Amino acid sequence: KIYRASTTAPVNIAVVKYWGKRDVQLNTPTNDSVSVTLSQDDLRTLTTASCSASYPAGDSLVLNGESFDVSGARTQACFRELRARRAAVEAADPSLPKLSTLPLKIVSENNFPTAAGLASSAAGFAALVRAIADLYELPDSPSELSIVARQGSGSACRSLFGGYVAWRAGTKEDGSDSMADLVAPASHWPDMRALILVASAAKKGVSSTSGMQKTVATSGLFKGRLTDVVPRNMALIEEAIKNRDFAQFAEVTMRDSNSFHACCADTYPPIFYMNDTSRAAVRAVESINEQAGKTIAAYTFDAGPNCVVYYLQEHESTILGAFAGVLGGVTGWTANGVGAKPAVQL
């Protein structure tokens, strides 16, 4: 007999950035963060988890058709935690099949290029955790599962929810309070859009995992980000989301991206994620806002040169029109709505 569950999981793009680890093993962050979950029409990971006594010994994972090494600490942490939770369920009800002892087979596919720097680890680990939790029929809430996903990739903990999501850094040493929660569902502010401008499909120069550790170790500016910038931005962004105040949402988003990239430049040796095309996108957003006479667009950049522009649906033609001519270096783009949480596939 083969037991099986499938799910899709969305990409999320942070507006207050996670950058810095408090504990590298537990993958707890130095600061809170907030993201917007994108719709799964264009960008999503589809993952099937199965287990069976008939499988060869050992867990396996196939990602986009290629076999992926599961011996890494992060994948192992996810498997171990989910198995332990299943084992607890089995101990409470001995009539249940002992799935926790069977080899796992995971098959995962992105409907977008993994290397394009489009937050693939977030959707990937969120889908992996959600699929195994469904296979094991775990009673855990998305917040409880976010503790597991966090150990796969920090940003993944926010992809277990739809809409507007916060990851609370937590203070406990074992990481048990470092989890995601819902700020507001997608339906609260459904006309939010995210335009992704692909400035380079090349793989990242410095991975976020190693980049953020170098920033923590060497940047003086980063200390002020933790004590001053992020606490202020967290309060302002949650308020902006609650009040559906786009101008405030946009200013915090742009300021936080700038603060993050300033800390990268202040890292020694410095890390540069944005390129000439990224900077042209910043100027394009500034000129869109100037011409509109108010803030209708906000840029943000993760650990790569691709620009994400947040705007409201009513301004879509203005935004797309403005970007059509300006950006020579853009190799592709996709406009996305704010989306839903991981969804079971039958």
Tokens of 65: 């058709």
The two beta strands, 307-312 and 297-301, are antiparallel
Give the shortest CB-193-to-ligand DP6 separation in angstroms: 19
Q: Work out the burial of residue 276: count CB atoms within 10 Å of its CB; fewer than 13 is exposed, 13-18 middle, 19 or more buried.
A: exposed
What's the closest the beta carbon of residue 44 comes to ligand DP6, in angstroms?
17
Enumerate the H helices of 178-274 as residue ranges: 208-218, 221-224, 230-242, 246-265
Least distance (Å) from ligand DP6 to the CB of residue 251?
A: 18
Those residues with Cβ within 8 angstroms of residue 273's Cβ, 6 or more apart along the chain or in another chain: 204, 205, 206, 261, 264, 301, 302, 303, 304, 305
Spatial separation of the C-alpha atoms in residues 87 and 97, rounded to whole Å: 10
Order the strands of the 297-301 sheet from edge to edge.
Answer: 297-301, 307-312, 192-198, 332-337
Nearest residue (CB) to ligand DP6, 19 versus 112: 19
Interface residues for ligand DP6 in 104-123 (CB under 6 A)?
Answer: 121
- With CB atoms as reference, the residue minimizing the distance to ligand DP6 is 154
Per CB under 6 A, does 318 bind ligand DP6? Answer: no
Say how far apart CA 254 and CA 285 lie, in whole Å: 10
Binding mask 202-241 for ligand DP6 (x = CB under 6 A): ------xx--------------------------------
Q: Whole-number minimum distance, CB 141 to ligand DP6, in Å? A: 21
CB closer to ligand DP6, 20 vs 135: 20
Piece in contact with ligand DP6 (CB under 6 A), picked from 88-96, 148-156, 285-293, 312-320: 148-156
By C-beta, is 126 or 288 nearer to ligand DP6? 126
Q: Is 261 in the site for ligand DP6 (CB under 6 A)?
A: no
| Residue 155 binds to ligand DP6 (criterion: CB under 6 A) | yes
Comparing CB distances to ligand DP6, the nearer of 19 and 311 is: 19
User: Binding to ligand DP6 by residue 153, rule CB under 6 A?
Assistant: yes
Window 8-47: contact mask with ligand DP6 (x via CB under 6 A): ------x--xxx-------x-----x--------------
How does DSSP classify residue 227?
Answer: I
- Stated as kind and residue range, the H or E segment containing 345 is strand 343-345
Residue closer to ligand DP6 by CB (options 14, 195) is 14
Burial of 13 (0-12, 13-18, 19+ CB in 10 A): buried
Per rule CB under 6 A, is residue 154 in the interface with ligand DP6? yes
Report the distance separating Cα 282 and Cα 319, nearest Å: 13
Non-local CB neighbours of 343 within 8 Å, separated by 6+ positions: 7, 8, 40
User: What residues numbered 271-310 form the site for ligand DP6, per CB under 6 A?
Assistant: 302-303
Q: Is 200 in the site for ligand DP6 (CB under 6 A)?
A: no
Q: Provide the minimum distance between the beta carbon of 262 and ligand DP6 in the complex, in angstroms, as a whole number.
A: 13
Nearest residue (CB) to ligand DP6, 26 versus 322: 26
Q: What is the largest CA-CA distance in the chain?
A: 67
Interface with ligand DP6, residue 189, by CB under 6 A: no
Residues 128, 204: Cα–Cα separation, whole Å: 23
Residue 105: strand pairing partners: 50, 60
Indicate the residue among 24 and 235 with the shorter CB distance to ligand DP6: 24
Q: Which residues bind ligand DP6 (CB under 6 A)?
A: 14, 17-19, 27, 33, 121, 153-155, 208-209, 302-303
